[in-house]
């Protein structure tokens, strides 16, 4: 259950965002998550709601791992705006956890950058933004459809990490 809440919190971290640049909508995004989790009857939601509301703490004083991870999700998304090669992975909390895991972290960052580049293609972006009735589900289905596109295996880490939590979305 908690992995699903966490995945949902990750998806909702910028749901109220109205523009690029400074994010003024963290509180509204946290309220949207609160409403969803409350509607679903999930009582253990405060940590996730607070992590979105305060995902960029002053002086880098994080209060929970959930907050750190949502901060990193938000930071990774900036690659969509500034590009993969202008992105500094050193600002990511998870990149500093265990230096022995750096190659895993690098591969994960590269997979995320690759998926961002797919979703930024004008045709796909337009379809998702203007015609999707299930934005989150459509993103997940796109990710898994691209996994084995053209005889290559793409996104092995991301799809492995999400496989179990996304079964309801992936099953027709």
pLDDT single digits (tens) 81-129: 888 888 898 889 888 888 888 899 999 999 999 999 999 999 999 999 8
Q: Say what the pLDDT of residue 1 is.
A: 46
Report the range out of 30-44, 75-89, 121-135, 155-169 with the highest average pLDDT. 121-135
More confident residue, 41 or 21: 41
Note whether 67 and 105 are same-domain residues: no
| pTM (two decimals) | 0.77
Spatial separation of the C-alpha atoms in residues 134 and 145, rounded to whole Å: 16
Note whether 34 and 105 are same-domain residues: no
148 located within any domain: yes
Mean pLDDT of 41-52: 87
8 located within any domain: yes
Say which DSSP state 117 is in.
H
Q: Say what the pLDDT of residue 4 is.
A: 67
Note whether 106 and 71 are same-domain residues: no
46 located within any domain: yes
Domain final position from 21, 45, 77: 77
6 pLDDT higher than 80: no
pLDDT in tens, 147-156: 766 667 788 8
Spatial separation of the C-alpha atoms in residues 125 and 145, rounded to whole Å: 16
Q: Say what the pLDDT of residue 111 is.
A: 92
110 located within any domain: yes
145 located within any domain: yes
Note whether 57 and 125 are same-domain residues: no
Distances (CA, A) of 45 to 28, 94, 113: 15, 22, 29
Mean pLDDT of 48-53: 88
94 located within any domain: no
Closest CA to 147 of 135, 160, 134, 128: 160
Q: Say what the pLDDT of residue 150 is.
A: 64
139: domain range? 99-172
Q: Please, which residues have CB within 8 angstroms of residue 123's CB and are 6 or more apart in sequence?
A: none
3 pLDDT higher than 60: no
Considering its fold, how many domains does the chain have in total? 2
62 located within any domain: yes
Taking every pair of Cα atoms in the chain, the longest distance, rounded to a whole number of angstroms, is 46
Spatial separation of the C-alpha atoms in residues 165 and 127, rounded to whole Å: 24
pLDDT in tens, 56-72: 888 888 988 889 888 88
Spatial separation of the C-alpha atoms in residues 169 and 137, rounded to whole Å: 6
86 located within any domain: no
Q: For all residues of the chain together, what is the average pLDDT?
A: 84
């Amino acid at each position: 259950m908690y992995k699903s809440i966490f995945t949902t919190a990750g998806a909702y971290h910028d749901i109220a965002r109205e523009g690029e640049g400074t994010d003024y909508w963290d509180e509204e995004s946290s309220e949207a998550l609160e409403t969803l989790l409350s509607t679903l009857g999930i009582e253990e939601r405060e940590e996730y709601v607070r992590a979105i509301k305060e995902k960029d703490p002053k002086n880098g004083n994080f209060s929970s791992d959930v907050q750190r991870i949502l901060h990193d999700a938000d930071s990774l998304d900036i690659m969509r705006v500034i590009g993969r090669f202008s992105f500094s992975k050193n600002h990511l909390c998870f990149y500093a956890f265990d230096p022995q895991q750096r190659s895993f972290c690098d591969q994960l960052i590269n997979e995320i950058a690759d998926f961002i580049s797919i979703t930024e293609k004008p045709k796909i972006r337009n379809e998702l933004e203007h015609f999707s009735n299930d934005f989150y589900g459509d993103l997940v289905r796109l990710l898994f459809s691209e996994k084995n596109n053209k005889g290559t295996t793409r996104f092995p880490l991301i799809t492995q990490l999400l496989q179990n939590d996304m079964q309801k979305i992936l099953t027709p």
